[in-house]
């Protein structure tokens, strides 16, 4: 199985346009597609991850019938934004107007819900947040000033998922997606869903218990669940034991490290111990995660890795990362993956390894087309992650699909989709800067030999396919 990750408005222009691409120029390459948020509105303060209405398709992109039609041809993954909704949602606006008299008042989390007796400085300092500062925003709550929990931005208000109102909201979202034929859900920001006083409020024991319940409900509705969490590799291993699928966020920076230094040992060690129920990525709609490799490479190596990205992008990633841009992330560098490597051959080596590593490979639409940093979008929005969210015209897609680097990537994708050995057993070999990844089944074998120092790869198989 191989999946595409794409915004419907930025690859094809709509749900129907994305469908045409997947059954036309990209036919046979992907078994599934992760469509990034297409809810109302898809272009909010956080590119759809702040839904005003999580149960409606933005009419500018299409309808639930378009989702069902696509799901009839290819597996569809959809985001469930677990932690929050937009401050412009009808429910939250009603709370702001009517306060505790609103039926939705218990749906949202406040400071007092977690700290009814107040919090100590130590308790507040313990809270983990992926942005600078504390996760509270003052709102006029029906005439009373309240501190509302806002983990990400003031426009994204957190749900109280201990309360029946918050749980009922998520149930409506899940059943809507299942009715539309969605077969896989990505639990966005799930690690922040449960806040417990005296803890970091991130991936607590209460969070794990909540995830167990949420995944079980997804199974009842016929959907599998992928959990999105940026954390150290030990945490990913624990999460993997509790859910259907977890991202291998360590793979992208380990490949960047290996291809910039020729050192394959950290990657080799990770491939020996990583979970098997992984979704592999090199790039996504977010930045390139770096905290996920702590403990796999040294802090000095991590610093050198980040500096190599800034150097390869001629400083573009530095302009889009951290304090240089809004939506500040503590754990990501913003750049396209091809730009981070600045070399087509190195990029193809990275993609080849991704496609041969056990798991479900997901290929981001900008990476599929070997796109560079979109500095115009960055300048227009001031949002760092927009550097890797180009909106492609039909003409740009056609031209990109003819580029030699893209055509070679499509060949790799076609091999991954068609060769039966990928349904068999995997083995890892090689030494020094060389990796040898082999798949064998009763129907044949296929092997990738990659050299991170030379930035070369060779694919061999029992037959031409």
Q: Any idea what the CATH number is for the domain that residue 122 is in? A: 3.90.400.10
Which residue in 113, 158, 188, 292 is the catalytic one? 188
Identify whether the C-beta of residue 116 lies closer than 8 Å to the C-beta of residue 45: no
50: annotated active-site residue: no
Of the three residues 138, 158, 178, the one that is the final residue of a domain is 158
State which residues form the domain around 238: 3-81+164-423
Residue 160 assigned to a binding site: no
Residue 188 assigned to a binding site: yes
Half-sphere exposure of 179 (CA within 13 A, CB side): 11
Strand, coil or helix: 426:
strand
Q: Rg of the chain over CA atoms, in angstroms?
A: 22
Which residue in 9, 228, 373, 374 is the catalytic one? 228
CB atoms within 10 A of CB 299: 8
Same domain, 147 and 198: no
Residue 447 assigned to a binding site: no
**Which portions of the chain are predicted below pLDDT 70?**
323-331, 463-465
Same domain, 183 and 133: no
Residue 362 assigned to a binding site: no
Identify whether the C-beta of residue 82 lies closer than 8 Å to the C-beta of residue 189: yes
- Strand bridging mode 434-441 / 444-451: antiparallel
Entry pTM: 0.94
CB atoms within 10 A of CB 425: 11
Residue 294 assigned to a binding site: no
Q: Is residue 178 part of a domain?
A: yes
The model's pLDDT over 309-360, given as tens digits with 9 standing for 90+, comes to 999 999 999 999 875 544 445 568 999 999 999 999 999 999 999 999 999 9
Identify whether the C-beta of residue 159 lies closer than 8 Å to the C-beta of residue 167: no
Same domain, 182 and 66: yes
Total number of domains constituting the chain: 2
Same domain, 75 and 107: no
| Burial bucket for residue 164 (CB in 10 Å: 0-12, 13-18, 19+) | exposed
Residue in 131, 77, 139 with CA at minimum distance from that of residue 105: 139
Please give the pLDDT value at position 327: 40
Of the three residues 130, 158, 186, the one that is the final residue of a domain is 158
C-alpha to C-alpha distance for 253 and 363, rounded to whole angstroms: 16
Strand-pair partners of 32:
3, 75
Residue 244 assigned to a binding site: no
188: annotated active-site residue: yes
């Amino acid at each position: 199985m191989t999946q595409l990750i794409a915004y419907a408005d930025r690859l094809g222009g709509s749900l129907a346009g994305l469908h045409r691409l997947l059954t036309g120029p990209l036919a046979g390459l992907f078994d599934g597609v992760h469509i990034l948020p297409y809810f109302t509105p898809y272009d909010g303060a956080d590119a759809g991850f702040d839904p005003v209405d999580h149960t409606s398709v933005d009419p500018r992109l299409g309808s639930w019938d378009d989702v069902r039609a696509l799901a009839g041809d290819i597996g569809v993954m959809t985001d469930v934004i677990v932690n929050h909704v937009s401050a412009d949602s009808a429910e939250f606006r009603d709370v702001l107007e009517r306060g505790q008299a609103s039926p939705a008042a218990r749906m949202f989390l406040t400071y007092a819900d977690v700290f009814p007796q107040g919090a100590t400085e130590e308790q507040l300092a313990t809270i983990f947040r992926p942005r600078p500062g504390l996760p509270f925003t003052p709102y006029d709550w029906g005439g009373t000033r309240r501190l509302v929990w806002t983990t990400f931005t003031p426009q994204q208000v957190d749900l109280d998922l201990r309360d029946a109102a918050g749980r009922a909201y998520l149930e409506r979202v899940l059943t809507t997606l299942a009715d539309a034929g969605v077969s896989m859900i990505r639990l966005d920001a799930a690690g922040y869903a449960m806040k417990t006083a005296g803890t970091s409020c991130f991936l607590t024991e209460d969070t794990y218990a909540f995830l167990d319940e949420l995944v079980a409900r997804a199974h009842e509705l016929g959907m599998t669940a992928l959990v999105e969490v940026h954390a150290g590799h030990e945490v990913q291993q624990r999460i993997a034991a509790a859910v259907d699928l977890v991202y291998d966020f360590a793979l992208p920076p380990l490949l960047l490290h290996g291809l910039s230094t020729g050192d394959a040992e950290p990657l080799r060690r990770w491939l020996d111990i990583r979970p098997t129920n992984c979704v592999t990525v090199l790039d996504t709609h977010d930045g390139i995660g770096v905290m996920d490799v702590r403990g796999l490479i040294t802090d000095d190596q991590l610093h050198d890795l980040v500096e190599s990205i800034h150097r390869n992008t001629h400083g573009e990633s530095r302009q889009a990362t951290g304090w240089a841009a809004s939506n500040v992330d503590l754990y990501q560098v913003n750049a396209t993956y091809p730009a981070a490597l600045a070399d087509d051959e190195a990029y193809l080596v990275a993609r080849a390894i991704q496609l041969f590593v056990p798991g479900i490979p997901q290929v981001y639409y900008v990476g599929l087309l070997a796109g560079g940093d979109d500095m115009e979008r960055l300048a227009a929005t001031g949002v760092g992650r927009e550097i890797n969210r180009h909106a492609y015209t039909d003409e740009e897609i056609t031209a990109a699909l003819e580029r030699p680097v893209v055509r070679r990537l499509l060949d790799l994708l076609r091999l991954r989709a068609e060769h039966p050995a990928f349904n068999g057993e995997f083995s890892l070999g090689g030494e020094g800067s060389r990796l040898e990844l082999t798949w064998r089944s009763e129907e044949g074998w296929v092997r990738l030999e990659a050299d991170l120092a030379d930035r070369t790869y060779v694919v061999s198989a029992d037959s031409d396919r």
